Amino acid sequence: MPETEPQLLTVDGISRPGLHPAALSLDAGGCVAVLGGSGSGKSLFLRAIADLDVNDGEVYLASEARSAMAAPRWRRQVVYVPAESGWWRDRVGDHFEDPDGIVGVLHRLDMPPDCMDWAVSRLSTGERQRLALARALSLSPRVLLLDEPTSGLDDETALKVEAILHEKMASGTGIVLVSHDGAQAKRMAEVHYHMADGRLTRDDGADDTEYSGGAS
């Protein structure tokens, strides 16, 4: 691992059942897109980076190894947002440390401030996705691991999400974006990878192909 000018995120040969050893690097303020079909291993890859499943290999945040960091600290800085977010309390606002601090983001995502008082059970798929992203952003992560973040949204709202993500990138946040939408990958990322049968390969000629099946 180089000691000079480390990249924001370096994935060094992580693997687990269903995922062959995979590597990539991410600059501060950059976005790497991972495309592939359903069941190809994209979500397994993000979960491995986030250290949510047992895996081999190493991941570095700047020059600090994941293995040298307490898991809760790692997961607050390298935040995974799954396609289907988890909600463990009845009230939306109980999932946020500072609900007042995200009012601006909620407004841009077309969510009213009083949604913090809503019951989770009333949320639509798209509302859950938007609120899960807002919850992740409220942690001010250094890296976002996004698994199909706009799959349940209409085109207009998806572009609003992308605009917010571009602003976060401009402030230094790095993003690893899993998508089945090649057009979105082109809008968001300069570096593209393809996942197939648990093997990650760099794709220097990414096109606008849409892979069917969504999250894997």
Angle, helices 155-170/125-137, rounded to nearest 10 degrees: 10
pLDDT score, position 5: 56
pLDDT score, position 91: 97
Q: How far apart are CA 31 and CA 143, in angstroms?
A: 10
CB atoms within 10 A of CB 48: 24
CATH no. for residue 91?
3.40.50.300
Any domain includes 180: yes
Between 214 and 15, the more confident residue is 15
Any domain includes 203: no
Q: Are strands 191-196 and 199-202 parallel, antiparallel or unpaired?
A: antiparallel
Q: What is the mean pLDDT of the chain?
A: 91
Q: Name the helix (H) or strand (E) containing 15.
A: strand 9-16
Q: Number of folded domains in the chain?
A: 1
pLDDT score, position 105: 95
Per-residue pLDDT of 56-80, as tens digits, reads 999 999 999 999 999 999 999 999 9
Any domain includes 135: yes
Any domain includes 3: no
Q: How far is CA 72 from CA 19, 66, 75, 122, in A?
A: 24, 11, 5, 29
Per-residue pLDDT of 12-25, as tens digits, reads 999 999 999 999 99
Any domain includes 4: no
Grouping H, G, I as helix, E, B as strand and the rest as coil, residue 150 is coil
Any domain includes 162: yes
Average pLDDT over residues 107-131: 95
Q: Residue 152 belongs to what domain range?
A: 9-198
Grouping H, G, I as helix, E, B as strand and the rest as coil, residue 193 is strand
CB distance 169 to 175 below 8 Å: yes
Any domain includes 187: yes
Question: Residue 216: pLDDT band by 50, 70, 90 thresholds?
Answer: very low
Any domain includes 210: no
Look up residue 212 and give its two tokens: 């069917």
**pTM (2 decimals)?**
0.91
